[in-house]
Amino acid sequence: MKKFLSLIFVLSLLFACETNKKADSQTIDVKSDEMAYASFGDKIDADNALSTQEIATKYENLKVGDTLVTKMSGTINEVCSTKGCWMKLDLGDEKEVMVRFKDYGFFMPLNAEGDVIINGKAFITETSVEDLRHYAEDADKSEEEIAAITEPERTLAFEADGVLLKQE
């Protein structure tokens, strides 16, 4: 009986380790047009990505509830400092795109910076005060900055199924 219980314990431990491996991001080096990228999530290529100006124009025409399947390029402004579970991309004119990752299937490195290409769905959301405060906490904002959040915010959002992070 002890051998049987020991075997079950060892198998449980092995399966638990396999589950954790799946939750980690897989980084694969991709080369496209002589640029090197680290790949996260689904495999995508760098071709035909909309520029920040092009995607900004597309966002102007979206209403809450609309969805646009697309690929865009942008520059990282901020990454979740806790897990890398979201990032914000610069859209110019003091606008940002809030990027989350499909089904939390992958995360970005906590120190990710620079240019990225993302593939997925662009849309507009209204973000609640509670969620805005949570994101501020994740970004290590001060208590005063968190308390100053009192109104919901219209957010330019993106659910990425794949990301290419440009390697320097």
Task: Return the structure tokens found at 38.
Answer: 């680290």
Q: What is the CA radius of gyration of the chain?
A: 19
- Give the global pTM: 0.69
pLDDT of residue 69: 98
Q: Which residue would you say has higher pLDDT here, 38 or 34?
A: 38
In this predicted model, what pLDDT tens digit does every residue of 93-124 receive, in sequence order? 999 999 999 999 999 999 999 999 999 999 99
| pLDDT tier for residue 45 given thresholds of 50, 70 and 90 | very high
Res. 11: pLDDT tops 80:
no
CATH, range 27-166: 2.40.50
Mean pLDDT over each residue of the chain, to the nearest integer? 85
- What percentage of the chain's residues is helix, strand, coil (to nearest 5)? 30, 40, 30
